[in-house]
Amino acid sequence: MTEIQGNTQKMYKRKTQSKLLVFTGGAALLAVAVNLAIVAICKRKKKKELPGFELRPNLSASEILNLADKIIAKSKKVHDAVASVPPNKVTYSNVISPLADLEAEQFPLVQSCVFPKLISTSDDVRAASAEAERRIDAHAQMCSKREDVYRVVKAFSARGEQTSAEQKCFIQCLVRDFERNGLNLTTSKRKELLRLRVQIEELSLRYIQNLNDDGTFIPFSEAELDGLPKEFFESLDKTENGKFKVVMRSHHTAVVLEHCKVGTTRRMVAMAYGKRCGEVNLSILENLVHLRHKFARLQGYSNYADYAVHYRMARSSAKVFEFLENISDSITDLAAKELASLKNLKKQEEGESPFGIEDLLYYVKRAEDQEFNLDFVTVKQYFPVSLVLSGIFKIMQDLFGLRFEEVIDAEVWHYDVKLYSVFDLNSGELIGYFFLDLYTREEKYIHTCVVALQSSALLSNGTRQIPVALLLSQLQNDVDGHAGLMRFTEVVNLFHEFGHVVQHVCNRAPFTRISGLRLDPDFVEIPAQILENWCYESVSLKLLSGFHQDITVPIKDEVCESLKKWRHSFSALKLKQEILYCLFDQIIHCAENVDIIELFKHLHSKVMLGLPMLEGTNPASCFPCSAIGYEAACYSRVWSEVFSADIFVSKFRGNLLNQHIGLQFRNKVLAPGGAKEPIDVLSDFLGREPSIQAFIDSKAEYSL
Ligand SMILES: *[C@@H]1O[C@H](CO)[C@@H](O)[C@H](O)[C@H]1NC(C)=O
Ligand SMILES: *[C@@H]1O[C@H](CO)[C@@H](O)[C@H](O)[C@H]1NC(C)=O
Ligand SMILES: *[C@@H]1O[C@H](CO)[C@@H](O)[C@H](O)[C@H]1NC(C)=O
Ligand SMILES: *[C@@H]1O[C@H](CO)[C@@H](O)[C@H](O)[C@H]1NC(C)=O
Ligand SMILES: CC(=O)N[C@H]1CO[C@H](CO)[C@@H](O)[C@@H]1O
Ligand SMILES: [Zn+2]
């Protein structure tokens, strides 16, 4: 039945499409024949005027480069004007407003130039977009180092004039961003700071490059890889003498460590994986850490960790330690229980050989297979893309008091892409827009993510700029009447990313620099992490699911229950492992001259309940998190997860579709965004300070 319906629908579509083609073809020809001006008029008429929409979603390569140059010229003009204000004449309206308005107006234009790099189907457009980004970035870098502008801003801030809390917050950000570039230092120190930054960037890149270049592999016979899925064998290259090559990359090692029945193979793989880039990257990391401490001391901090954490929710490295240690201590008993059950399982399967860190993934998988009877191939049959989407729409609209409406004939960059307007359900006010670009396509950015294309701002003439978000993902579209199906993890990811869409669109912060998704990194993930919970509760999971051949058949209650248990299975042990890396990262960025190898050995055994580090491995040499991007901030993921759990349990569990609470969350947490301290935002919503207890309890609740 569904098959036939699908086909007729397709035929119907094809017919109307070809009619349209004929019609536009004819119209275009006619227009060209009569007068070129008519083409322009027709085009303008066809393109819908969207209120508050400043973005230009489908520019050509030359338009992108022209716009980039215009942006830079305008920005330079405004910065020059601000810099020319004499320090004794500075006012809010001649210094702060022009900078704030400039950022707000230029953000959607900058994004119009830069985001086509991620999604355009044209090579020329992507190249132009990358070039535009390079030019705009170079300009922005230069502006952020302009001493003349800094002096004027600082002069205003030093006057201590009465401003609103949001304005104060914005001014602090302006000053801080300049000062983090060394603008309040002497010239020689500033030069030293910039020199250090360049060195740090070079070393970070080299560390990553070494890992990327590593081509180590181990040849194994079929018997040595017993237990691996058949498709995996088929995907492996072979050596001359017919052995299978397992390369030391996570897409191979993870499969072996999870599925291979042969203990010695797992051990060899775990060892070789943990030895990658050995001495070289270790010495790079030592150097990096040393330079980072120097960098932080130039700015008046006693170590790099304090510099990195200062403006985050955690505020100080001491607080991070206290947090990690509290969590680690409170899950020790649970983790020990989990480990004991894994050891037991190994004894049954392999006899008396000692349990090592290389056995962890394999026995977790074995235990889960025994425990849950969860067949993810079957689970997938319950998640057709269109049904999941309509479920997400329903939940987000009901919960947060929103209405989504598709914009027909919107200007887009590919015919799969859709644009939606978002209205407040009660007032009918238009509050933002979002694009969905969901399906895989060649040359498209490969990660699932949300990009802010236009951000909330209040211009000085009273105009409010509304947010525009773009959600990118890699789903399978329906093919030949067969519904595209989603893996469960994809459902969770999509829900998470939709959380960011709603977060961005509901934000009302008045300055682009602190609005939308430009929030404290310890805080920005919290709303989306909270929303992931909806994927594990049967009330909401049923709204997201239905058997693909008969969507009225929802996913079974037992499956919902199993998914929830699966989410928490062995989570204390997994968390211990994450905390191990977080502690390592925090310690090396806190103290000078730490013996990195000894530290890791010591921490490993202490945090992992006596499990030793694998002999000869060197996790610090192949642990990019602490080398680049997240240095001294690895804790951040655990941090936000802990507070997400608190909010979910205290406010939303049992109230999954409660609009009253959803609206409170929207108004108190999503709307203010970066214009308030995150801790105050959360406390205001919770009616008390956030706590780690709910998180600990949730681990215990689902323990074996
Ligand atoms: C420079 O600014 C940084 C960051 O705002 C601050 O921590 C530091 O104390 C300032 N240094 C001087 C010498 O004023
Ligand atoms: C850690 O635990 C101590 C003692 O229970 C408590 O006073 C402190 O607030 C906790 N710290 C954090 C960050 O939760
Ligand atoms: C985007 O613009 C190009 C011309 O620059 C045009 O060929 C294409 O059809 C447009 N894409 C869509 C989906 O409208
Ligand atoms: C305020 O300024 C923006 C940007 O320059 C402009 O688009 C808008 O029309 C102005 N609004 C009013 C009411 O003047
Ligand atoms: C000494 C050492 O381990 N060097 C390695 C550093 O990383 C590169 C890239 O992986 C390897 O080729 C070197 O052997
Ligand atoms: Zn996220």
Let me know if 497 is a catalytic residue: yes
Q: Which two tokens stand for residue 30?
A: 């006619």
> Distances from the Cα of 47 to the Cαs of 29, 58, 169, 419, in angstroms?
19, 12, 39, 13
Please indicate whether residue 603, judged by its CB atom, sits closer than 6 Å to ligand 4. no
User: Could you tell me the distance, in angstroms and rounded to a whole number, from the CA of residue 322 to the centre of ligand 2?
Assistant: 7
Which atom of ligand 2 lies at the shortest distance from residue 325's CA? Answer: 1
Please indicate whether residue 122, judged by its CB atom, sits closer than 6 Å to ligand 3. no
**Of 413, 416, 417, 439, which is best to mutate to test ligand 3, by the most ligand atoms within 8 angstroms of its C-beta?**
413
Cβ atoms of 114 and 134 within 8 Å: the answer is no
- How do 418-424 and 430-439 pair as beta strands? antiparallel
Which atom of ligand 3 lies at the shortest distance from residue 59's CA? Answer: 5
Residue 219: enclosing H or E segment and its boundaries? strand 217-220
Please indicate whether residue 189, judged by its CB atom, sits closer than 6 Å to ligand 1. no
Query: Within 10 A of 584 (CB to CB), how many other CB atoms are there?
Result: 24
**Of 207, 249, 277, which is best to mutate to test ligand 5, by the most ligand atoms within 8 angstroms of its C-beta?**
277
Take atom 14 of ligand 1 and give the residue whose Cα is closest. Answer: 184
CA atoms within 13 A on the CB side of 674: 27
Q: pTM (2 decimals)?
A: 0.90
Rg (CA), the chain: 28
Q: Which two tokens stand for residue 143?
A: 């502006």
Q: Which two tokens stand for residue 271?
A: 């060892």
Take atom 9 of ligand 1 and give the residue whose Cα is closest. Answer: 300
Ligand index nearest the alpha carbon of residue 63: 3
Ligand index nearest the alpha carbon of residue 46: 3
463 — phi, psi (to 5°)?
-75, 135
User: Could you tell me the distance, in angstroms and rounded to a whole number, from the CA of residue 510 to the centre of ligand 4?
Assistant: 15
DSSP 533: G
pLDDT of residue 48: 65
Please indicate whether residue 415, judged by its CB atom, sits closer than 6 Å to ligand 3. yes
User: Could you tell me the distance, in angstroms and rounded to a whole number, from the CA of residue 58 to the centre of ligand 3?
Assistant: 6
Q: Which residue in the list 490, 497, 525, 532 is annotated as catalytic?
A: 497
Take atom 11 of ligand 4 and give the residue whose Cα is closest. Answer: 463
With vertex at residue 235, the alpha carbon angle to CA 619 and CA 374, rounded to the nearest 5 degrees, is 75
Render 302-358 in DSSP notation, one character per residue. Answer: SSHHHHHHTTSTT-SHHHHHHHHHHHHHHTHHHHHHHHHHHHHHHHHHHTTPPP-GG
User: Could you tell me the distance, in angstroms and rounded to a whole number, from the CA of residue 555 to the centre of ligand 3?
Assistant: 40
Which atom of ligand 3 lies at the shortest distance from residue 58's CA? Answer: 1
Own/partner contacts of 147-152, CB < 8 Å, gap of 24 or more, are 147/183, 148/83, 149/79, 149/82, 149/83, 149/99, 149/178, 150/175, 150/178, 150/179, 150/183, 150/184, 151/83, 151/87, 152/82, 152/83, 152/85, 152/87, 152/90, 152/95
pLDDT of residue 480: 82
Ligand index nearest the alpha carbon of residue 124: 3
pLDDT of residue 627: 63
**Of 322, 327, 682, 683, which is best to mutate to test ligand 2, by the most ligand atoms within 8 angstroms of its C-beta?**
322
Which atom of ligand 2 lies at the shortest distance from residue 326's CA? Answer: 1
The residue ranges of DSSP E strands in 60-119, in sequence order, are none
C-alpha span between 291 and 662 (Å, rounded): 46
Please indicate whether residue 280, judged by its CB atom, sits closer than 6 Å to ligand 5. yes
Tell me, what amino acid is at 6? G
Mean pLDDT by 10 residues, the chain (704 residues): 29 28 28 31 54 96 98 98 95 97 97 97 97 97 96 94 91 95 95 96 91 92 95 93 94 95 95 88 92 96 96 95 96 96 94 92 94 89 95 98 96 96 97 97 93 97 97 91 92 97 97 94 96 96 93 92 92 94 94 91 94 87 74 94 96 96 98 91 96 90 68
Greatest CA separation for the chain: 89
Please indicate whether residue 461, judged by its CB atom, sits closer than 6 Å to ligand 4. yes
The three-class DSSP label of residue 452 is: strand
483 — phi, psi (to 5°)?
-65, 140
Please indicate whether residue 60, judged by its CB atom, sits closer than 6 Å to ligand 3. yes
CATH code, residues 61-180? 1.20.1050.40
Question: Smallest Cα–Cα separation from 108: which of 520, 431, 452?
Answer: 452
C-alpha span between 546 and 543 (Å, rounded): 8
Please indicate whether residue 663, judged by its CB atom, sits closer than 6 Å to ligand 4. no
Please indicate whether residue 66, judged by its CB atom, sits closer than 6 Å to ligand 3. no
Which atom of ligand 5 lies at the shortest distance from residue 215's CA? Answer: 10
Please indicate whether residue 476, judged by its CB atom, sits closer than 6 Å to ligand 5. no
**Of 461, 464, 465, 512, which is best to mutate to test ligand 4, by the most ligand atoms within 8 angstroms of its C-beta?**
461
User: Could you read off the pLDDT of 172-222 as tens digits, one per residue?
Assistant: 999 999 999 999 999 999 999 999 999 999 999 999 899 889 999 999 999
Ligand index nearest the alpha carbon of residue 180: 1
Please indicate whether residue 54, judged by its CB atom, sits closer than 6 Å to ligand 4. no
User: Could you tell me the distance, in angstroms and rounded to a whole number, from the CA of residue 412 to the centre of ligand 3?
Assistant: 7
Tell me, what amino acid is at 131? E
Which atom of ligand 2 lies at the shortest distance from residue 319's CA? Answer: 13
Please indicate whether residue 28, judged by its CB atom, sits closer than 6 Å to ligand 5. no
Angle, in degrees to the nearest 10, between helices 2-34 and 36-46: 140
What are the extents of the domains in the chain? 61-180, 215-275
- How do 468-475 and 430-439 pair as beta strands? parallel
Take atom 2 of ligand 3 and give the residue whose Cα is closest. Answer: 58
User: Could you tell me the distance, in angstroms and rounded to a whole number, from the CA of residue 552 to the centre of ligand 4?
Assistant: 50
Report percent pLDDT > 70 for the chain.
Answer: 92
pLDDT of residue 623: 79
